[in-house]
Amino acid sequence: MTPTKRKQVLKALDVDTWVRRDAETHVEAAPLASPDATPDEPASAVAVMPEKRGRGRPRIHPLPGSAPAMAPPVSAPKMVVVPRSDYVAPADWDGLRAAVKDCNRCKLCPTRTQTVFGVGVENAPLMVVGEGPGADEDAQGEPFVGRAGKLLDEMLRSIGRSRRDNVFIANVVKCRPPGNRDPEPDEAEACRPFLERQIQLVKPRLIVALGRIAAQRLLQTDEPLARLRGPLHQYGPERTPLFITYHPAYLLRSPREKAKSWDDLKKVHRYLLEHA
């Protein structure tokens, strides 16, 4: 076919570019810009490839080595880093109780009914740490006295423990967060010297953290509860053994998890017997 005839045929078929079927090389075209393209959105390089069948418009393929645009990666959430307080809590029980009672170190203080110091045996082998007081605790001044508290007492009783005989119970924060929300990092930091002093005075053989908030605050991590629960951790310079299980309030909402909680309790019981 003569060149003139070929042009006439291609024009009739509405084909702008013709490439021989046996061609092995790419025919590069100029970058195609979107009608909405901006200088910050460069067009991708393309190539015109010969059609294998038929005589329609040539197909457009990305050139080797080019890649489609990707959204920027989403960074993993991290805990808010709060500077550690220089406050030194009293080193005796009476002084510590008085300091907690009169505390005004964070924004929880104006909304509380009263502080919730802690309850139990002051030299107990087992120390249980929750996240913060709820409405019942705020009213009575004692941790874990509502429905979750009754379940906690049953859990402890199942392994021969109680707040009256051999357990000390405390919370990460000593004042109720409004609406029973999670304690915020700055609130937990304001109460940290009090909790650290309680642990130093009790000198427990084992600490059990109830739920994600207590676990994350004690270990200073943002790892999820599913990853923290199971292994034995260590807390503080004394490397006190720390075990993590579900919060009783969570078990009330998710009773199917009680079997896992029972497994955790058996581990706690076994550890205390082996390290009596």
Give the contacts of 7 (CB within 8 A, at least 6 positions apart): none
> What pLDDT is attached to residue 18?
54
> What pLDDT is attached to residue 86?
86
Q: Which of 242, 126, 105 is nearest to 174 (CA)?
A: 105
> What pLDDT is attached to residue 82?
59
Q: How many CA atoms lie within 13 A of 75 on its CB side?
A: 3
Q: Are 171 and 148 in contact (CB under 8 A)?
A: no
Q: Which of 82, 83, 87 is nearest to 197 (CA)?
A: 87
Could you state, in order of their start, the residue ranges of all structural domains in the chain?
93-274
Q: Are 131 and 210 in contact (CB under 8 A)?
A: yes
Cβ-count burial 176-191 (b if 16+ within 10 Å, e if not): bbeeeebbbeebbbbb
> What pLDDT is attached to residue 83?
65
Which residue is associated with the tokens 């600490």?
Answer: 207
Give the contacts of 136 (CB within 8 A, at least 6 positions apart): 145, 146, 149
> What pLDDT is attached to residue 78?
46
- Per-residue pLDDT reduced to its tens digit, 146-165: 999 999 999 999 999 999 99
Question: Is the domain 93-274 a CATH 3.40.470.10 member?
Answer: yes
Sheet with 59-62: list strands edge to edge: 27-28, 46-49, 59-62
Q: How many CA atoms lie within 13 A of 214 on its CB side?
A: 27
Mean pLDDT by 10 residues, the chain (276 residues): 64 56 42 38 39 44 42 42 79 98 96 97 98 97 96 98 98 96 95 98 98 96 96 96 98 96 97 96
| Tokens matching residue 76 | 């993993």
- Per-residue pLDDT reduced to its tens digit, 85-117: 689 999 999 999 999 999 999 999 999 999 999
> Is the overall model pTM greater than 0.75, yes or no?
no
